[in-house]
Amino acid sequence: MIFRQATIDDIESMHEVRLAVTENALTNPDLITFNDYKEYLLQRGLGWVCESGNVIVGFAIVDLNQNNVWALFVKPGFEMKGIGRKLHDTMLECYFSNTTEPIWLSTAPGTRAETFYRKAGWVQTGVRVNGEIKFEMTYIEWEKHSKNPS
């Protein structure tokens, strides 16, 4: 497995991963466009991918402007191999090397993603209008958790 920073050339493959997931699935694939990925990678934040056999099997994108995780997805069949955790940790390490502002994300309740984020040290701060759970990670909590991962 190779982990590296995402580029514009990775967008099509990242979108394929996004469309393949079964949890937090997109109800309308047209809601996220090539230009959305491009904006997050070039203007708003940074992204990383995981490759297996020259195929992208996971990716993460952080929005440095809005202090949130825009995406963290692993292709079905590649879950439970540490890919999501490595992408998560790489993303937060980079995020907190740029700022000490808290970061947030949201995910559907009752999903493996919810369990993943709780285990990774995220704290629930509320429920969004769409029913998703809102989580937050502070710099202090990240420092503690990154030194003693669960």
pLDDT score at 150:
55
Tokens of 105: 């994300």
Give CA–CA dist 4/117, Å, rounded.
22
Tokens of 14: 């990242």
In this prediction, residue 98 has a pLDDT band, given cuts at 50, 70 and 90, of confident
Tens digits of residue pLDDT in 46-71: 999 999 999 999 999 999 999 999 99
Give CA–CA dist 79/55, Å, rounded.
15
Tokens of 139: 């710099």
Give CA–CA dist 64/98, Å, rounded.
9
Residue type, 31: L
pLDDT score at 32:
87
Q: What is the mean pLDDT of residues 72-96?
A: 93
Domains and CATH numbers, the chain: 2-75+82-147 (3.40.630.30)
pLDDT score at 104:
96
In this prediction, residue 93 has a pLDDT band, given cuts at 50, 70 and 90, of very high
Residue type, 119: K
Consecutive H or E run containing 59: strand 55-63
pTM: 0.90
Q: Is the pLDDT of residue 136 over 90?
A: yes
